[in-house]
Amino acid sequence: MSKEVRELEPKAIWENFCNLNAVPRASKKEERVIQFMIEFGENLGLETHKDKIGNVIIKKPASAGMEDRKTVILQSHLDMVHQKNNDTDFDFDTQGIEMMIDNGWVTAKGTTLGADNGLGVATIMGLLASTDIDHPALEAMFTVDEETGMTGAKELDPSYYDGEILLNLDTEDDDELSIGCAGGIDTNTRYEYEQLYSLEDTQAFKVEIKGLKGGHSGMDIDQGRANANKLMARLLTLATSDCMLHSFEGGGLRNAIPREAVAVVSLLRRHVDGFKSHVKEMQEMFAREYDPVETDIRIEITEIDTPDQMVAGEERIEMLHALNAVHNGVFKMSLKFDNLVETSSSLAQVIIKDGVFTTKSLQRSSVESTKTDVATTVRSPFDLLGAEVEQSGDYPGWEPNPDSPILKTMAEIYRERFKEEPDIKACHAGLECGILGTHLPDVDMISFGPTIKHAHSPDECASIESVEKFWGYLLQVLKSIPKK
C-alpha cells in the first residue's frame, strides 16, 4: 500500500512521509524518530543537533544567490496521535502505519495516519534534501511531545536559532494562513470509591457506544460531534435505579474527542427487559439529537458473567452526576473574530474501575482569563465530589498580529497564485507558536499546511491534490523571502 503512496507527486514529500511513517513515534516515546531525524541530517552532511529535551535541529545554508535573504525557521512536531478502532489489530510500538489511497485522499487502515504533523516533517525533509530549490538559509526545528503537553516547545533551547521568520507547517486547510491559536490546560481527577460484592441472581451486560466521528478536540469542537463519555454517563444515569455499575471506560487521548465508551452493568433479572428497552430508546434519542452530524451512533449490549464487585450505589450516582455536570464542548465564542471558538473543554477520558474513578480533560482558550474560568468550571463538580484535582500543562496562546510582514508577503503570493483570498484566521488548536514566541520573541511567525481531515481519529486523511498545491506555494514563498 505504501508503494502507491510513494509514487504520488510531489515525491519530495510523499517518499519522506512513507519513510517517516515506518517509524513509531508516539508522544513521549520519540526516541526512534529522534534518531531517525539525526541520521537523516547527518547523512545529508548538514549541521545537525539535538537539544536537551530531544528537539532536533538541522541547518542548511542558502542556495546560490539567496545568501542575502532572511533566515527561515521551518517547524513541525515529530510525534503523532496513536489512535485505532477497537476492532483493528495493530501495535503502534512495533508497526509502521499502513497507508492506502482512497478517492483522492491518503488514509490509513483503521488507525490514525500521522499526517498531523508528519506531512509537515516530510515537507521539511524534502527541502533539506533538495539540490534544485531556491531557498534562503534554513533552520529545521523538529519538536517533540506536541500532542501531550508541548514539552518540546516549552523546553526549547533558543540558542540554536538565528532565524527571523518562522513557518509552522501544522494547520489543516490549504487556504488558511493562521496567525493565532489557543492556549490550554489539562484537568485530571482521581477519586477512590467503595466497592461492594455484586448481588446474586443478576444478569450483567457489556454496553458499548461506538460509531462516533471523534476528531480533534480543538479544531472539531464546534462541529456538534458527540462525546462518547457524556453519552454513556447520560445512558447510565437515566437507567433504572437498580442498574448496578461495575466499570466504565471511555476515550483515551487528551486532545481527541472520544469516539467509543464501554461500561459493564448488571441488573436483577426482572429488570433486564426494561434495560434493553432503555438502551434502544437512548440510541434513538441520541440519533435524533445528533442528526445529521453523527450518522452511525450505535449502542451494543452483550450478555456477560457478573463481575465479583460493583460500585457502591450512592457513589455510583454521585460519580455519574459529576460526569453529567462537567462542561464539554464550546464554552465561549470569540467576540473579536467571526466563527472562532474562543474557549472550550473536552472530557477526553473516563475510567471507573477497581475502586478508582479518574478523568482527563483539556481546556483551551485564546484568552487567559476565560481559560482560567473554564478550568475552574470543569474542576468544580469533582471538587464537590471530593476528588483529587490536578491542573497542569498550562501553555499560552498565540496572539494574532494582523500587521505581520510575513503574513502580508504570503497573502499577496496566495492571491496572485490562486486568484482568491486566503483565509486569514486564528485557530482553536494548540499550535506551538504561542510557546515558541516566548523563546523567540522577535521572530515573525505564521502557520499553514495542506488539507487534512479528521486528525486524531482513525478516519484521518490527507488530500493528495492539496499537498501538491501546498508544496508549490511553499516553494514560491521561500523564493520570495525578503532581504536581511
One domain, residues 222 and 299: yes
Same structural domain, 308 and 449: no
Residue with cell 441520541: 286
Question: In angstroms, how far apart are the furthest CA atoms of the chain?
Answer: 84
Domain span at 117: 2-181+397-479
Which of these, 130, 239, 118, 106, lies nearest to 170 by C-alpha position? 118
Q: Is residue 484 part of a domain?
A: no
Tell me the β-bridge partners of 186: 362, 392
Question: Do 265 and 154 fall into the same domain?
Answer: no
- Could you tell me if 367 and 407 lie in one domain? no
At 57, which CATH number?
Answer: 3.40.630.10
**CB-hemisphere CA count at 13 Å for 206?**
12
Residue 435 is assigned to a structural domain of this protein: yes
Between CA 256 and CA 455 the distance in angstroms is: 8
Residue 159's contacts (CB-CB under 8 Å, 6 or more residues apart) are none
What's the predicted TM-score (pTM) here? 0.74
Q: Is 170 within the bounds of a domain?
A: yes
Is 89 in the same domain as 195? no
Task: Supply the Cα-derived Rg of the chain in whole angstroms.
Answer: 24
> Do 412 and 387 share a domain, yes or no?
no
pLDDT tens for the 484 residues of the chain, in order: 578 999 999 999 999 999 999 999 999 999 999 999 999 999 999 999 999 999 999 999 999 999 999 999 999 999 999 989 888 999 999 999 999 999 999 999 999 999 999 999 999 999 999 999 999 999 999 999 999 888 999 999 999 999 999 999 999 999 999 998 899 999 999 999 999 999 999 999 999 999 999 999 998 999 999 999 999 999 999 997 789 999 999 998 888 999 999 999 999 999 999 999 999 999 999 999 999 999 999 999 999 999 999 999 899 999 999 999 999 999 999 988 888 899 999 999 999 999 999 999 999 998 889 999 999 999 999 999 999 999 998 988 888 888 999 999 999 999 999 999 999 988 888 789 999 999 999 999 999 999 999 998 899 999 999 999 999 999 999 999 999 9
Q: Are residues 192 and 177 in the same domain?
A: no
Cell of 199: 448481588
Residue with cell 481531515: 453
The grid coordinates listed for 279 are 438502551
Handedness of CA 152, 332, 352, 456 (dihedral sign): negative
| 329 and 378 co-located in one domain | yes
* 263, 208: one domain: yes
d(CA 186, CA 253): 12
**Cβ neighbours of 169 (radius 10 Å):** 21
CA distances from residue 164 to 64, 75, 76, 169, 482 in whole angstroms, order as listed: 20, 13, 17, 16, 11
Point out the residues that are catalytic.
79, 146
Domain match, 163 and 277 both: no
User: What is the count of structural domains for the chain?
Assistant: 2
Q: Are residues 223 and 267 in the same domain?
A: yes
Residue that is last in its domain, among 360, 395, 430: 395
Which of these three, 374, 395, 416, is where a domain ends? 395
- Which of 380, 395, 410 is where one domain is finished? 395
